Structure 1
Amino acid sequence: MSEPCDLFIIGGGINGAGIARDAAGRGLKVVLCEKDDLAQGTSSRSGKLVHGGLRYLEYYEFRLVREALIEREVLLNAASHIIWPMRFVLPHSPDDRPAWLVRLGLFLYDNLGGRKKLPGTRVLDLRRAPEGVPLKEGYKKGFEYSDCWVDDSRLVILNAVDAAEKGAEVLTRTACTSARRNGDRWDITVQGPAGTRAFSARALVNAAGPWVTDVVGRVTGTNSKRNVRLVKGSHIITPKFWEGEQAYLVQNHDKRVIFINPYEGDKALIGTTDIAYDGAPEAVTADQSEIDYLLAAVNRYFKQELGRDDVVQSFSGVRPLYDDGAGNPSAVTRDYVFDLETQGGAPLLNVFGGKITTFRKLAEHALQKLDGFFPQMGADWTAKAPLPGGDIADADFDRFVADIQREYPWLPQDLVLHWGRLYGTRMRMILGDATALEHLGVQFGPRLFEAEVRYLAAHEWAMSAQDILYRRTKENLQMSAEQIDALNVWVAQNLEPQT
């Protein structure tokens, strides 16, 4: 027996979760299907920035940059717990782009998107400014500008949480095995922990990211004139090797720019590469040549040289960029394109490309594409709506943390800040009636307690230690192998398998 729904979405990355949230908030009956865990692919392997894309100005992507810069402030207001301002230092040398060109780009960047909250660009004398201390002596002049950091996988999770709380059904570890048109509906079959289920949907959205063309052909049996170009981007994590909260943006010898960002307190996140990729998206890894490339970019600029032994971890993701025919992977557009196909029956909306910063706008545009098929659905609504946990007064995170510390004086300050960043106002759901640290249950690591693990299983579809440590939190970076093994055992013994 098929279960009816309005909109069936394939793909639990940022685009699929964003579309599910938007559609559910408009009153549609939504089902979201993801073959793995939410954000398990590209959406947890990004550079973790909400930004306009300064370098895209060189490719005349003014509309994309403007839209992204506007979205940067929208998202900062919607989720100030997982998105926050960051200052980026650009050391300049005569071998790089000319200083006048950098200044022009930064002037456009400051003014294209109607910047309100973030401070503007300033010129730095790196011989005197503290930001110049870790840099080699040859770098005398620099620029500093603003962008925002984002916890990418949590952004996906919070969109899925909001979708579910607005009535959507979110199915993780559930593969869509078949979708076929039957007149004005789609007959859809999925296979997951509960076995086989069948749905009948009025419209189908393919937001499968790197697997979008596979879904077009193998799952839906249709065709599309559009395609994606898979580009691999790899990052490395090292101990942090400078003082201060600022990030750095440096240029490598091939003119590509590399971000060097503070990460999880005492670490640095360095990336990314841009390499054409034709393998299986799920098998992507950072190879040694990429690691050496990123280390060389750092060592060109910084006094403290890094080697392979300094790499704590590496990860790689496949960006499913819309194939615009550009020869250079770095020049391929980061814009998104829709392919709406009906063949006289139920609509199929294929989503090509996109970037994490513009996911909300992409979702809004996707629903606008489908509005003719759902005349009763609600209007655009997400621009001023906070994400779960983001209902923080005036988006003032520091004041929120101070209020929580007064409300729970027994809670260690580092845990208040950590849980505040992950959960915002919803950290109270973890704390419950606890009045002492021991009320939070088993302590698995420096900042991971049983109360949090149970919350993640009950409210955020976490089913394994990896879900918890890599995508719901980043506590894998703070825990020993023995602590992680103990968590694996506890999860297997104490968490009911979800169906």
Structure 2
Amino acid sequence: MRARAEEIGALAGREWDVLVIGGGITGAGILLEAARRGLRAMLVEQRDFAWGTSSRSSKLVHGGLRYLAEGQLRLTRESVREREALLREAPGLVEPQGFAFADHGGGWPRRLGFLAVLRIYDRLAGRREPHWETADGFAMLAPNVRREGLLGGVRYTDAKTDDARLVLRVLDEARAHGAEALNYVAVQGMLREGGRIVGARLLDERSGQEQAVRARVVVNASGAWAGALGGEGKGPRLRPLRGSHLVLPSWRLPLAQAVSLLHPGDRRPVFAFPWEGATLVGTTDVDHSEGLHLEARITRHEFDYLMTALRAAFPQLGLQDGDVLATYAGVRPVIDSGQHGAPSKERREHMVWSEPGLVSVTGGKLTTFRAIALDTLRHAAPQLPGWQADLAPVPVFARVTPPLCRALPGSVLRRLGGRYGRHAQALVDAAGEGELETVPGTETLWAELRWAARAERARTLADLLLRRTRLGILLPQGGAAHLARIKTICQPELGWDEARWLAEQAGYMALWRECYGIPAA
């Protein structure tokens, strides 16, 4: 605690060019792009890094096929460009994911229209691949899909990621360029001089220490929480939308491809795809009316909605509520069009607006975080006299050589290189006996827990199990059966005494039951 207070005091005593508020993917991207262009940049997050939307997304790095079908060509072009860049730059973290869409008699006009959209999608990505499969060929791609009335199907390629690890990797890249990032530091209010914002008053949630930090420009990148920082009210009206998901064991819903299907009730698209050794199902798109200070959670209605889609698509599997390992929900910062239409019809572009000393940004997609960051810096540039920089896109990540370890296969080394970047070799070298084995039922190494506890600023057990690793949503009951071994690995690294560990364990399990378990009927 004392070291933490000293760290914050030292940082507060420095003059910053940019103070970024918000530790999700948007804030992390802005921090990186600012730091690599010579700005003295610092980020603060009131909870944990990626605590909000950026650890609770659908885990897809996609070009936005739906946006293209709705005529949003600019957004799709930008998304496809960013997806392809991340696939090149972050192997092991951003990976290709095939999608399959069954045709149970939608009619030739609809089928031809879908194929035409996919041809444009391919052209934007600079690739070309076959898209139509016969019924037998489609059944090979998705063997458990409903065969009755199956005429064939469409397939295409997008990408997937671990969203929380993506945020952490971007933050680490920013630190390599001299930036600073602190979690559990809340903004108490803005510093103002002569009608201009010149910094912020910060509160360290752990020590209770308050500090004033000065910056030439404050960037509000707090997403769905953007309206809570008290600017002059010039920003757009937000429509917080909740997306909820299910996680099932891969043996219970085995998939080689992602399967897109239309919900039998309202014909909305729902997907299921293999992720981190499990199968992820989503997503809903409903207005979120609960307070944003509360942890988002799935409702029973949303749970039943997704289970209905699965049972209709895979009737022979006989899926039951008890087959679900975990649930999670996140709130998207969508800009309200004012049309009062269906949530899924709201546009997903980002918006940036400014006032003296403050630049705010919200909206947008996980995939386009680099483009959002560069656009935000363009708006900030007039408030940074003397700073000139080329804001053309450059690779997000430095080239990384996968770690060396004869005990691990190449696919695992590639995964570690993607998720941990320049620290992957140190993670492998720090592993204790048996820690280069995977946690049963997942693709996570036990050694990842040790490294997270030692070097990744985890402050709570939830940080370790829900964001540094994803064991909390990949294992039954949030990993309760493995807590004894997790304690053996992590407690010495964290420096927690027995009372602290027991308190953390009790708090984590209560949180898991309330927000990540199966909601009561």
TM-score higher than 0.5 here?
Answer: yes
2:361 to 347, 351, 356: 351
- In the alignment, is residue 331 of structure 1 matched against residue 345 of structure 2? yes
Distance 1:308 1:336, change over 3 A: same
Deviates more, 1:30-39 or 1:445-454: 445-454
1:368 to 351, 360, 378: 378
Distance 1:24 1:239, change over 3 A: same
Cα offset, 1:445, TM superposition: 4.5
Distance 1:87 1:412, change over 3 A: closer
Alignment-derived partner of residue 257 in structure 2: 246
Q: Contact 1:464–1:491 at 8 Å: present in 2 too?
A: no
Distance 1:182 1:227, change over 3 A: same
Q: Contact 2:450–2:490 at 8 Å: present in 1 too?
A: no
- In the alignment, is residue 36 of structure 1 matched against residue 57 of structure 2? no
1:287 to 299, 303, 307: 299
2:75 to 57, 64, 67: 64
Distance 1:164 1:261 in 2: 33
Q: Contact 1:153–1:471 at 8 Å: present in 2 too?
A: yes
- In the alignment, is residue 310 of structure 1 matched against residue 323 of structure 2? yes
- In the alignment, is residue 124 of structure 1 matched against residue 119 of structure 2? no
Distance 1:425 1:243, change over 3 A: farther
SS at match of 2:58: coil
Q: Contact 1:70–1:115 at 8 Å: present in 2 too?
A: no
Q: Contact 1:465–1:488 at 8 Å: present in 2 too?
A: no
Q: Contact 2:63–2:80 at 8 Å: present in 1 too?
A: yes
Distance 1:100 1:236 in 2: 32
Cα offset, 1:311, TM superposition: 1.1
Distance 1:49 1:449 in 2: 23
Cα offset, 1:77, TM superposition: 1.5
Superposed CA deviations along residues 377-419 of structure 1, whole A, max 9, x for unmatched, are: 43236532425xx525xxxxxxx5xxx5xx4223467854653
SS at match of 1:370: helix
Distance 1:483 1:278, change over 3 A: same
Distance 1:105 1:181, change over 3 A: same
Superposed CA deviations along residues 318-366 of structure 1, whole A, max 9, x for unmatched, are: 0010112241100111110111122xxx2x1111201100001000111
TM-score by length of 1: 0.86
- In the alignment, is residue 157 of structure 1 matched against residue 165 of structure 2? no
Distance 1:319 1:246, change over 3 A: same
Distance 2:72 2:163 in 1: 23
SS at match of 1:268: strand
Distance 1:69 1:444, change over 3 A: closer
Alignment-derived partner of residue 3 in structure 2: none
Distance 2:489 2:447 in 1: 13
TM-score by length of 2: 0.83
1:427 to 421, 424, 428: 424
Alignment-derived partner of residue 504 in structure 2: none
Alignment-derived partner of residue 396 in structure 1: none
Superposed CA deviations along residues 255-285 of structure 1, whole A, max 9, x for unmatched, are: 21111110222x2100000001121133321
Distance 1:382 1:487 in 2: 41
Percent of aligned pairs with the same amino acid: 31
Q: What is the aligned residue count?
A: 468
Alignment-derived partner of residue 438 in structure 1: 433
Cα offset, 1:46, TM superposition: 0.5
Q: Contact 1:337–1:353 at 8 Å: present in 2 too?
A: yes
Distance 1:139 1:451 in 2: 45
Q: Contact 1:232–1:318 at 8 Å: present in 2 too?
A: yes
1:114-263 paired onto structure 2 within 5 Å: 114-116=125-127, 120-129=129-138, 130-137=140-147, 138-183=149-194, 186-192=198-204, 193-194=206-207, 195-215=209-229, 217=230, 220=231, 222-240=232-250, 241=252, 243=254, 245-253=256-264, 254-263=266-275
Q: Contact 1:3–1:198 at 8 Å: present in 2 too?
A: no
RMSD, aligned CA: 2.6
Distance 1:286 1:247 in 2: 22
Cα offset, 1:114, TM superposition: 3.4
Alignment-derived partner of residue 319 in structure 1: 332
Given residue 213 of structure 2, which amino acid in structure 1 is its aligned partner?
Answer: F
Q: Give structure 1 stretches of 5+ with no counterpart.
A: 393-399
Given residue 494 of structure 2, which amino acid in structure 1 is its aligned partner?
Answer: L
Distance 2:430 2:240 in 1: 48
Alignment-derived partner of residue 395 in structure 1: none
Cα offset, 1:451, TM superposition: 5.0
